[in-house]
Amino acid sequence: MNITQDKVVELDYTLTVDGEVIDQSESGEPLTYLHGHSNIIPGLERALEGKAAGESLQVTVAPEDGYGERDEDNVEELSLEDFEDDVEIGATYYAQAEDGSVMPFSVMAVEGDRVQVDFNPPLAGMTLNFDVKVLSVRDATAEELEHGHAHADGDHNHE
């Protein structure tokens, strides 16, 4: 079976940027996603189209097909008072937008009571190199299609 729209795919991956490993699936804990539903970044999803279980591939994803370009307008200054906890440079915090959505940001610098923060995704502007091995391909269940994501065994809770 090949990867096409509405298939559920299990894969092992290693993500490197400039030769440094940024992220990888743990042994025995593959990434599971629903193909064709933008569950993963566009460049990787496109490269996986038509592949079958057992195939390995190397994919280079440019920023525009990954996490986008960096936008310096997304670098902002907050006040130290805005933070409930201690502020740690490099750490990720979460802000609640007016519409209720949660926006992650990282702290770049602290000067006095001014905190410089970055709302860009950490991998924005970076060229991503994926080493991918396709482990399995199956049809999605009706429930998965309804939800728009894959249900891996035991890691998805429904209310």
Q: On the CB side of 147, how many CA atoms lie within 13 Å of its CA? A: 17
Query: Least Å distance between CB 10 and Zn ion?
Result: 16
Residue span binding Zn ion (CB under 5 A) among the ranges 35-43, 47-55, 101-109, 140-148: 140-148
Residue 37 binds Zn ion (CB under 5 A): no
**Which x/- pattern over 88-127 shows residues binding Zn ion (rule: CB under 5 A)?**
----------------------------------------
For residues 159 and 154, give the distance between their C-alpha atoms in angstroms, rounded to a whole number. Answer: 14
Task: Count the residues of the shown chain that bind Zn ion, applying the rule CB under 5 A.
Answer: 1
For Zn ion, the closer CB: 138 or 147: 147
Query: Least Å distance between CB 155 and Zn ion?
Result: 11
In SS3 terms, the chain reads as: CECCCCEEEEEEEEEEECCEEEEECECCECEEEECCCCCCCHHHHHHHCCCECCCEEEEEECHHHCCCCCCHHHEEEEEHHHCCCCCCCCCEEEEECCCCCEEEEEEEEEECCEEEEECCCCCCCCCEEEEEEEEEEEECCHHHHHHCCCCCCCCCCCC
Hey, which residues does 132 pair with through a beta bridge?
13, 57
For Zn ion, the closer CB: 81 or 159: 159
For Zn ion, the closer CB: 118 or 144: 144
For Zn ion, the closer CB: 5 or 92: 5
Residue 147 binds Zn ion (CB under 5 A): yes
For Zn ion, the closer CB: 72 or 143: 143
Site of interaction with Zn ion (CB under 5 A): 147
